[in-house]
Structure 1
Amino acid sequence: MRKKTDTLKNKVVFITGASTGLGEKIAYEAAKKGAIVVVSARREDLLLQVKEKCEQLSSKPAFAFGLDVSDPEQVKKVITEIYQTVGTVDVLVNNAGFGHFEEALTFDMDVAERMFRVNVLGLMYVTQLVAIEMAERHQGHIINIASQAGKMATPKSTIYSASKFAVIGYSNALRLELKPLNIFVTTVNPGPIETNFFDIADESGTYLEKVGHMVLNAEVVAGRIVSLMGTPRRELNMPALLEIAGKFYTLFPRIGDYLAGDLFNNK
């Protein structure tokens, strides 16, 4: 696609779930690099504000599309509009998703189904349609925002962790399939980020305070993600402490259970 020393100038970067939080920050960082930013989300009022700021930062046109990724017909319609209005997509960032912390025995399974439709199936719907076009050009980059929860599951994250385990598994296989077509696939696995994600995920409102030493800054994470665009990076794991813990979780199962069930159980 491009060398690491190149810039994103005039590249089309399409970001889902970009009305707030990490997706919003990724949009701004890409705009600063001169990208033509395309943002989508359900909350169109906020999305238009993001679009306007991207245009100010890049001095280029930006585009906003209302989209619920859990609806495959909407996905088809919006991606067709993007191709007709903007052009081909150089970088896709699958950021749309949500979480909810609740014990498995009392979890509302309607919420669980919605979570999988957004976090997993929605990501797959968007990826397939964008990747088909990338394959025709033999270039592109797909960045899937997963989570450290997809590396190391903890209590009260059964459904959310399962959805992110699925994203990681999908991304790993997709990377191998698309590599011969010169399409890069990167999985981003952040720990807790200080965004409005926890307004829904954590009804107690105390989780971020409990894990204060591990909380990531959204702008910093976004900057790291944008710096990887167009490069064949397999994964980005943040913060370092959770990356190390995740390796222990795999290599030393008993220690892993202690880390997940006791040391990192802050929900």
Structure 2
Amino acid sequence: MNKRLKGKNIVITGASGGIGEQMALKAAQNGANIALLARREPNLLAIQHRIEQQFSVRVLVFSVDISKRAEVEKAFTAIFSKLGSVDVLVNNAGFGVFDEAHQASWKDIEGMFQVNVLGLISCTQFVIPHMKERGSGHIINIASQAGKLATPKSSVYAATKHAVLGFTNSVRMELSRDGIYVTAVNPGPIATNFFEIADQSGSYVKSIQKLMLDPEKVASTITKAMFTNKREINLPKWMNVGSVLYALFPRMVERVGKKAFFKK
């Protein structure tokens, strides 16, 4: 349980499934009011109904394409009007497509940057002024271990997550004087529908099936960290060792891990 969340207002993007849905359920269980943002409105309404049946909290639903600035602005205007404030923003919306760089379609490349990077920045811009005015808040950006250690067939996806980490690290320092926490979450592969798009052949999922994270456990870890000054959450912890080694010995890691990296 996280008693700090009781009565707080939490916005979660990419909330129509996976860890977004699980975080919404965990936060509501802890007494927080929730604003759910995603494109799939039927899924959002189902989650809203489920939460309202179980917990005495407010649940707002917004069908939003995070890549469209006007839709994001409209949603946040409504959120501030109805809830009055945003205490926690979880930038969870994102997707990936695994292709080698020369094979990636321009549509997929633009889409990944629009959602994973620009959409995240857009949402963050709308909450920062309000959090600064109140002198409190928590921004949680779901990045990836791919943002620390890029591998073959994920060049564009990894580039977006490197961008997310760069943005997060800078914003953390900018807001450190305002009582606002900023956390990066770097998970490895999670057992969600992410791979229905990212790995349509199913070969990558098959090779790492035993290593995939449980979305409920990931959501629980993130929810427990809300309103704590946690710089990063790396899941699983052992996988982050590879990222640390890569930062120190990139040539060695690329040589030793080459065979494993090409399993994607």
- The within-5 A match list for 1:40-189 is 40-189=37-186
Partners of 1:13 and 1:260 in 2: CA distance: 39
Aligned to 1:251: 248
Matched residue type, 1:13: I
Partners of 1:260 and 1:233 in 2: CA distance: 30
Matched residue type, 2:124: T
Deviates more, 1:160-169 or 1:61-70: 61-70
Matched residue of 2:96: which SS? Answer: coil
Unaligned residue ranges in structure 1 (runs of 5+): none
Unaligned residue ranges in structure 2 (runs of 5+): none
- C-alpha displacement of 1:180: 0.2
Aligned to 2:203: 206
Query: CA offsets per residue over residues 194-224 of structure 1, 9 Å max, x none?
Result: 0000000001113222112321000000000
Matched residue type, 2:190: I
Matched, 1:11 2:8: yes
- C-alpha displacement of 1:6: 3.9
Partners of 1:233 and 1:259 in 2: CA distance: 32
Q: Does the Cα contact within 8 Å between 1:104 and 1:156 map onto a contact in 2?
A: yes
Partners of 1:58 and 1:68 in 2: CA distance: 27
Deviates more, 1:20-29 or 1:164-173: 20-29
Partners of 2:210 and 2:241 in 1: CA distance: 15
Q: Does the Cα contact within 8 Å between 2:64 and 2:72 map onto a contact in 1?
A: yes
Aligned to 1:34: 31
Please tell me the root mean square deviation across aligned C-alpha atoms, in Å: 1.3
- C-alpha displacement of 1:51: 1.2
Matched residue of 1:160: which SS? Answer: helix
- Residues 51 and 258 of structure 1, relative CA distance in 2, 3 Å threshold: farther
- C-alpha displacement of 1:109: 1.2
- C-alpha displacement of 1:259: 5.1
Partners of 2:2 and 2:200 in 1: CA distance: 44
- State the identity as a percent: 48
Matched residue of 2:118: which SS? Answer: helix
Matched residue type, 1:221: V
Ranges of 4+ aligned residues in structure 1 off by more than 6 Å? none
Matched residue of 1:107: which SS? Answer: coil
- The within-5 A match list for 1:223-262 is 223-258=220-255, 260-262=257-259
Q: What is the TM-score normalised by the length of structure 1? A: 0.96
Partners of 1:62 and 1:158 in 2: CA distance: 37
Matched residue of 1:60: which SS? Answer: coil
Matched residue type, 1:124: I
Matched residue of 1:98: which SS? Answer: coil
Q: Does the Cα contact within 8 Å between 1:249 and 1:259 map onto a contact in 2?
A: no
Q: Does the Cα contact within 8 Å between 1:153 and 1:260 map onto a contact in 2?
A: no
Given the alignment, which residue of 206, 210, 218 partners 1:221?
218
- C-alpha displacement of 1:5: 7.0
- C-alpha displacement of 1:82: 0.5
Matched residue of 2:61: which SS? Answer: strand
Residues paired across the two proteins, number = 264
Q: What is the TM-score normalised by the length of structure 2? A: 0.97
